[in-house]
């Protein structure tokens, strides 16, 4: 089965940096996704990591350590529009389907 | 990435009734999925909709409660049967993106059972 943990809530100031951690324990791992979900909207794809290391995409970066069962999403130069829920999802190796963590609600304050 | 149209966007239903949710994709996709997102919680995979065969259900979900149709590669329906207030949730369909590693989600159906 899958066990995916991420913090429930985080608050940060506009312009700052926030790091959202995700730890997972899984019987079969293929890769890890991060999604952003604004209230009342569909999740949107942010990043996908399959190999160890850091993937940078503009203000957002994602890191993966397969041996440690650990990932983080780094949000830099925070903007008010970044206030949203951030979902960590593990892709199963046997069927490539996704198992989601409970999500981290990030609130950006002026 | 694919564009998904999901209907209805929301509904309020009486307990004991059934609701069918439609998911239309603007391109042919092999994999279509149905998720549930209960209030304040994350997404839980209900089933994979397979074209030409029965859907594949995750543990805890059964066909009698959540029958699924997949008549072609661009369309699927999920029915929530014999509803109770515990079925109040957001239901989302999802497809594999064609050009990236991501999965695209529909805008969801917010269901309230009274």
The predicted-structure confidence for B33-67, as pLDDT tens digits, reads as follows: 999 999 878 899 999 998 888 999 999 999 999 99
Q: Per-residue pLDDT for A1 more than 70? A: no
Q: Per-residue pLDDT for B96 more than 90? A: no
Judged on CB neighbours under 10 Å (0-12, 13-18, 19+), A105 is middle
**Shortest Cα distance, chain B CAs vs residue A88, angstroms:** 10
Q: Which residue has the tokens 């829920």?
A: A85
**Residues of chain A found within 8 Å of residue B105, distances taken between Cβ atoms:** 42-44
Q: Give yes or no for a contact between B46 and B36, defined as CB atoms under 8 angstroms apart.
A: yes
- Read off the tokens for B94: 């999802």
| Nearest-by-Cβ selection for A100 from B42, B100, B106 | B42
- The total of other beta-carbon atoms located within 10 Å of residue B36's CB is 19
Interface of B with A (CB under 8 A): 1, 33, 41-45, 48, 92, 97, 100-108
Q: Which residue from B2, B94, B91, B51 is spatially nearest to A33, judged by alpha carbons? A: B94
CA pair distance B25, B27, nearest whole angstrom? 6
CA pair distance B8, B21, nearest whole angstrom? 6
Q: Does A48 touch chain B (CB under 8 A)?
A: yes
Q: Give yes or no for a contact between A89 and A99, defined as CB atoms under 8 angstroms apart.
A: yes
CB pairs A-B closer than 8 Å: 43
The per-residue pLDDT of chain A, averaged, comes to: 94
Percent of chain B topping pLDDT 90: 79
**pLDDT, tens digit (0-9, with 9 covering 90-100), for A36-82:** 999 888 899 999 999 999 999 999 999 999 999 999 999 999 999 99
**Residues of chain A found within 8 Å of residue B107, distances taken between Cβ atoms:** 41-42
Mean pLDDT of B8-31: 95
In this prediction, residue B100 carries a pLDDT of 63
Whether residue B41 and residue A102 make contact (CB cut-off 8 A), yes or no, is: yes
In this prediction, residue B17 carries a pLDDT of 98
Please write down the HEC assignment for all residues of chain B: CCCEEEECCEEEECCCCCEEEEEEECCCCCCEEEEEECCCCCEEEEEEECCCCCCEECCCCCCCCCCEEEEECCEEEEEECCCCHHHCEEEEEEEECCCCCCEEECCCEEEEEC
């Amino acid at each position: 089965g899958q066990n995916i943990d991420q913090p429930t809530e985080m608050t940060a100031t506009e312009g700052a940096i926030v790091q959202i951690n995700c730890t997972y324990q899984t019987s079969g791992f293929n890769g890890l996704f991060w999604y952003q979900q604004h209230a009342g909207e569909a999740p949107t794809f942010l990043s996908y990591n399959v190999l160890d290391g850091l993937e940078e995409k503009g203000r957002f970066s994602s890191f993966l350590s397969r041996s440690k069962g650990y990932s983080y999403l780094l949000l830099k130069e925070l903007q008010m529009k970044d206030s949203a829920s951030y979902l960590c999802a593990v892709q199963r190796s046997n069927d490539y389907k996704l198992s989601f963590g409970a999500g981290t609600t990030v609130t950006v304050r002026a | 990435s694919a564009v998904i149209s999901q209907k209805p966007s929301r509904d309020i239903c009486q307990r004991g009734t059934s609701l069918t949710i439609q998911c239309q994709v603007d391109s042919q996709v092999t994999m279509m999925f149905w998720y549930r997102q209960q209030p304040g919680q994350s997404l839980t995979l209900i089933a994979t909709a397979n074209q030409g065969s029965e859907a594949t259900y995750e543990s805890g979900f059964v066909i009698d409660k959540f029958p699924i149709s997949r008549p072609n590669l661009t369309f699927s329906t999920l029915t929530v049967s014999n509803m109770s207030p515990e079925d109040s949730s957001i239901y989302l369909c999802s497809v594999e993106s064609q050009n990236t590693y991501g999965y695209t989600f529909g805008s969801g159906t917010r269901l309230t059972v009274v």
